[in-house]
């Protein structure tokens, strides 16, 4: 079970050119928006990366807007963990459960997830918030992450697992987010 005090949301490379070329880009972006908004309400920190932004562009505008003043960790490595600046920031949060979303499932998301697992983190792959340019690559990335020891979840499942209780103001707000 994931709990807010132990969880971090990691968003990998949801950038202009790349975000437009993956399967079901609108669905993935909408689910990531839900995750960002719910994590803000539940005090779950967010860390996000950009792969070679000069070439792939910046994080898509609707997500960047929700992320506010947060700055991306820029990288050129496929695995976020291979970027020293990423690992420094990740360790500062002192969270063991990592909700992973982003692009592309079979490259950066896969390599990051496997390395996080090797470092002892619990990886929770949000399967409806990841994508690749082909459905086959998305699916094999998911299967390989699960085989490596990652847990599979969905946007709604993760949000309600973090929330835990169906009452109060936070439940009302999060219910509206989930239904959008």
Q: Is the entire prediction scored with pTM above 0.85?
A: yes
Residue 180 has pLDDT above 90, yes or no: no
Q: Which of 39, 80, 81, 108 is catalytic?
A: 108
Domains and CATH numbers, the chain: 4-179 (3.40.50.850)
172 carries an active-site annotation: no
108 carries an active-site annotation: yes
Mean residue pLDDT of the chain comes to 96
**Short-list 172, 39, 173, CA closest to 99:** 39
Q: Which of 75, 81, 97, 128 is catalytic?
A: 75
pLDDT tens figures, 25-72: 999 999 999 999 999 999 999 999 999 988 889 999 999 999 999 999
Tell me the C-alpha distance between 81 and 143, whole Å: 20
13 carries an active-site annotation: yes
Residue-wise DSSP of 95-147:
-SEEEEEEE-IIIIIHHHHHHHHHTTPEEEEEEEEEE-SSHHHHHHHHHHHHH
């Amino acid at each position: 079970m994931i709990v807010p005090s132990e969880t971090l949301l990691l968003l990998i490379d949801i950038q202009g050119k790349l975000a437009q070329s993956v399967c079901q880009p609108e669905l993935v972006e909408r689910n990531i928006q839900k995750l960002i908004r719910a994590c803000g309400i539940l005090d779950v920190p967010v860390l996000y990366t950009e792969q070679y932004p000069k070439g792939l562009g910046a994080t898509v505008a609707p997500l960047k807007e929700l992320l506010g003043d947060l700055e991306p960790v820029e990288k050129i490595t496929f695995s976020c963990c291979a970027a020293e600046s990423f690992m420094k920031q990740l360790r500062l949060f002192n969270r063991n459960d990592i909700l992973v979303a982003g692009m592309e499932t079979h490259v950066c998301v896969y390599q990051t997830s496997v390395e996080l697992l090797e470092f002892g983190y619990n990886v929770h792959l949000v399967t409806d918030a990841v994508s690749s340019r082909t459905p086959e690559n998305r699916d094999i990335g998911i299967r390989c992450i699960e085989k490596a020891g990652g847990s599979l979840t969905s946007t709604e499942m993760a949000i309600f697992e973090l929330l835990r209780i169906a009452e109060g103001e936070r439940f009302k707000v999060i219910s509206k987010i989930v239904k959008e």
